[in-house]
Structure 1
Amino acid sequence: MSRRLRLLLSALAVAALLWLLFGAAERALALAQRFLALPTWLQWTLGAVLVCFALLGAGVLWWLLRPPRKRRPVAAPDRASLEQRIVTLDERGADTGALRAELGELDRRRASGRVYVALFGEISTGKSSLLRALAPHADATSDVRGGTTRQVQHVDGTLSDGRALVLADVPGSREAGGEAHEALARAEALRAHAVIYLCAGDLTRSQAEEVRWLAHFGKPLVLALNKADQWPADDLQQLLARLRRTADGAAAAVVAISAGGRERFVRTLADGGSEQVERARAPAIAPLLDALARLTAPGAEALEGDRANAVLAELHQRTGTLEASTRAEAAERIVKRYARRAVVGAMAAVAPGSDLLIQGALATAMTRELAQLYEVRVSEVQIDDFVRQARLTVRTGSSIVLAIAGNALKAFPGLGTLGGGVLHAFAYALIFDAMGRALAGSLAERHALDQHDAGERLKSMLADASSSRLQRMATLTLEAWRERDRDRDTVD
């Protein structure tokens, strides 16, 4: 396009803009004149409406343009309550060694007074090269935090302002078959005062989730784009802008670096031949060091509160998982014990009856014991109502239970040789197993004795004819029946 043509188009554009402004001004003056000609009461009414619309528009504009709120880290329980839960787990026979070791590590790092920074990111992003760039003269020492083939490596580094820090190099996430390594990396990231999240391009969905996960625990974070020397300047700025949008305020700083490492290239020789040459690339990590210095400027003591909160919050989750599994195992033992008692009680009741749940005392005791296990306060009235409802549910589904028990007699020949009363004894085992599992599942999820939910679960469990369940109840019935026969032979 020639210069004259560009000038002509620019002049036309300016003229069009002036024409639009003139038209808008003329239209505004005309509206103002018409407004002033209106009655006073109508002027006030329209003015109030216009003011309301203006305030509403300003509110919407502020909502769209307001700075993002600082994320609140996940709440952590106080340490005393957490330690009491661990003591309770010890009393129930759970293995709490890892939980206690985590509390010990929390105290050890607090007492050291040193700033810990974790290098976090997916594999092949250059974490090892960055570690060497941050601590080029360190004698790498490692201490095991879990896993079998990978370790967390701690080395001493130095910030741009001369302050010392401890760098933790963790296993890369998204490693094939590396679920244990990923758990190890995440645990170490939570133990650190700050985290360097390393990437080599746009954040993938999994990487963005990891950044959000770190922000969820309130970890001070620097997002570092490695291998920045491989990008043209304009593309690099656009990539950094995309990383800031994706991080959505989770990172205190987004910087571009080059961790160095080694590179290979083909060199042309004087005789026309070529050879492959490998050489070291000089690291360029000054922006990262500056960002890290600002992030850790308050010092270890000032950063300790957020670090302890993250560790205790993660311990709260792990303790809850262990509590759930421990209670589930205890509930399994309780249900099995009462199912066996139901079989023993049914050995004398060999005559068929329409109500298979005649052992109300056992059902009441099992309900009370499961509620106590899940720390759900229930009254005797609630227990009686639940047992009564369960009795009606079982009566309705008795034909299904008997059919399942009858088919099991054929599937497990050992049951068919025990005598005529084995059908009802086996049915009792199935009923108490269904009732106990339904109640335990409802208590664990609802944290209350929800009769409707437990009843619906019971209906589903009564119709469960899975081979594993029948095998367990058949084995239990056989053991109880043979034990009774042994007792009779002893008496005789």
Structure 2
Amino acid sequence: MSRRLRWLLAAIALAALLWLLLAIAERALALAQRFLGLPTWLQWTLGSTLALFALAGLAVLWWLVRPRRKRKAVPAPDRGALERRVERLREQGADTQALGAELLELDRRRTTARVYVALFGEISTGKSTLIRALSRSSAARSDVRGGTTRQVAHYDSALPDGRTLVIADVPGSRETDGAAHEALARDEALRAHAVIYLCAGDLTRTQMEEVRWLADFGKPLLLVLNKADQWSAHELDQLRQRLREQTRGLANAVVAISAGGSEYFQRQLADGAIEQVERQRKPAIQPLLEALSRLTAAGAESLEPQREHAVLAGLHQRTGALEAQTRAAESERIVRKYARRAIVGAMAAVAPGSDLIIQGALAAALTRELAALYEVRVSDVQIEDFVHQAKLTLRTGSSIVLAIAGNALKAFPGLGTLGGGVLHAFAYALIFDSMGRALAASLAERKALDQDDASARLKTLLTEAGGARLRQLATLTMDTLRERDEDHPPPSD
């Protein structure tokens, strides 16, 4: 609902309310006299009903005239803190080259003092044609496949006042190999000072999601309706109004243009033959140029804080994803390490069955190391409580664990002939693998040692072990036992 319409409805509601007040004013004393003559319980019932209606009316009135909340930009970290995170990831062996290159590009564009504008939109909306109209360059050509821009290209463009811009042509949405091209497009959109979002009609749900994503970073955004010459004046006005409603609070302006391009038609020759004729339509992009002039009037320096915020916010998200990926790989290594230790310890322990987690010190060490990895502070008391709760969980499910281990041994040739010691070792491998995975997932999601959550995940992993995971644990058990035998061969007779 537009603001103008909401104010109109509010005015009508106020007028209706005033009319009602005037209508009842002349009978107020009579009504009051009759009201006071009613039984007490009826007075309370009628009074409460009238009060509720009054409150409901005020609530509706407030909803109609309330100011819209401004959309908050995606938060960005301090650059120094971000660089420290990237450096820490590099020291951990993660590939941070792309993150470092993004920071260098941020600084490079700042020193050029040029205004960068990214042209964003789906394929088949006329992006390449608009690039040619803006840059007057024949280099911006498209191929005939689904997906016309395979990389980011930059073109110089001139505004009516003589200032120059750098237009970035990015891969279109819904291209073939879309995920990789979408990442290229979004990264370039964050690097730009402003963004043009090109459409050729009403915005689809996917397009609205893209517009919201771009707006979330707080930089200037123009919504440009291309191919405006295909509608009548009335249809164009209605379409622009719908687009304004759809992007209210998201886009700085909505303009309609015609980027030009080729059009084909048939022409009959004098001899009766029909030929196909290609004709170039003249571009009409003056509204876009004027909007760009207004949007960039303050120059690159004034737009730089928003651009830097967007780049750092995007880097914050990418760094977080790389941190999660690195931690996941490290937690996998830690869990595997403790599963191997548990296998070795199990072969030297008593026969299986009574307590499947007698290696309490190993479980406590696993908990402490995973907590340190996910930067969760835990006390010795918390670790002891978690290990104790895990013991209770495992004690009640010991028969299930042994059954799974026994079935796994039968399923893998060579394991079932090695006796009860292997059964015990495989059971410990399953326990520590499940406990480590459950604890790592809980720490990553909860950012704390949530004993109940971790225990619930442990129970699920124990009872729902898949074939692929059991095969991995069987291989781990055999490899560990083989290495142990090689390091400590039995004494010769």
Q: TM-score range by the shorter chain?
A: 0.7 to 0.9
Distance 2:456 2:51 in 1: 57
- Match of 2:420, SS? coil
Q: In the alignment, what sits opposite 1:367?
A: 367
Q: Which residue of 1 aligns with 2:454?
A: 454
Cα-to-partner distance string for 1:197-229 (whole Å, 9 max, x where unaligned)? 111111111111111111111121111111101
The range that moved more, 436-445 or 347-356, is 347-356
Q: Distance in 2 between matches of 1:486 and 1:159?
A: 77
Residues paired across the two proteins, number: 459
Q: Distance in 1 between matches of 2:238 and 2:31?
A: 54
Amino acid at match of 2:183: A
Structure 1 distance, partners of 2:51, 2:397, is 68
2:318 alignment partner in structure 1: 318
Match of 2:477 in 1: 477
- Structure 1 residue 125, shift from structure 2 partner: 0.5
Q: Could you tell me how far apart the structure 1 residues matched to 2:393 and 2:51 are? A: 64
Q: Does the CA-based 8 Å contact 2:342-2:428 persist in structure 1?
A: yes
Q: Would you say 1:289 and 2:289 are equivalent positions?
A: yes
Deviation of the 1:72 alpha carbon: 2.1
Change in 2 beyond 3 A, CA 1:39/1:351: closer
Closer, same or farther in 2 for the Cα pair 1:420/1:33, shift >3 Å?
A: closer
Unaligned runs of 5+ in 1: 1-20, 44-48, 142-146
Matched letter for residue 426 of structure 1? F
Q: Kindly provide the CA deviation profile for residues 425-483 of structure 1, in whole angstroms up to 9, marking residues without a partner as x.
A: 11111111111111111000000000000010111111133111111111111111112
1:418 CA drift (Å) = 2.9
- Unaligned 5+ runs, structure 2: 1-14, 37-48, 142-146
Q: Is the 8 A contact 1:140 1:154 kept in 2?
A: no
Q: Tell me if 1:414 matches 2:414.
A: yes
Give the C-alpha shift of residue 85 in structure 1: 0.9
- For the pair 1:119 / 2:122, whether they are aligned, the reply is no
Q: Look up the SS of the partner of 2:355 in the other structure.
A: coil
SS class of match (1:448):
coil
Name the counterpart of 2:44: none
Moved more, 62-71 or 324-333: 62-71
CA RMSD of aligned residues (A): 2.8
Instruction: Give 1:238's aligned residue.
Output: 238
Aligned to 2:426: 426
TM-score by length of structure 2 reads 0.87
String of CA shifts for 1:67-117, please: whole Å, max 9, x gaps.
Answer: 534322111111111111111111211111111111111111111111000
| Corresponding position: 1:32 with 2:25 | yes
State the one-letter code of the partner of 1:215.
A
CA gap of 1:377–1:30, structure 2 versus 1, over 3 A, is closer
Letter of the structure 1 residue corresponding to residue 26 of structure 2: Q
Aligned letter for 1:340? R
Farther-moved stretch of structure 1 (346-355 vs 455-464): 346-355
Aligned to 2:173: 173
Alignment partner, residue 335 of structure 1: 335
Residue equivalent to 2:443: 443
Q: 1:86 to 1:269 in 2, by over 3 A?
A: same
Amino acid at match of 1:32: A
Structure 2: distance between partners of 1:214 and 1:246:
14
8 A contact 2:129–2:140 mirrored in 1: no
Is the Cα contact below 8 Å between 2:148 and 2:171 reproduced in 1?
no
How far the C-alpha of 1:59 sits from its partner, in A, is: 6.8
Structure 1 residue 140, shift from structure 2 partner:
6.8
- Corresponding residue number in structure 2 for 1:88: 88
- Residue pairs, 1:13-32, within 5 angstroms: 31-32=24-25
Pairing 1:206–2:199 present:
no
Quote how far apart the aligned CAs of 1:37 are: 7.0
Shift of residue 416, structure 1, vs aligned partner? 2.3
- Please state how far the C-alpha of 1:138 moved relative to its aligned partner: 7.8
> Where does 1:152-191 land on structure 2 (aligned, <5 Å)?
152-191=152-191
Q: CA-to-partner distance for each residue in 1:2-24, whole Å, 9 max, x for gaps?
A: xxxxxxxxxxxxxxxxxxx9xx9
After TM superposition, give the deviation of residue 175 of structure 1 in Å. 1.2
Partner Cα separation in structure 1 for residue 448 and residue 212 of structure 2: 33
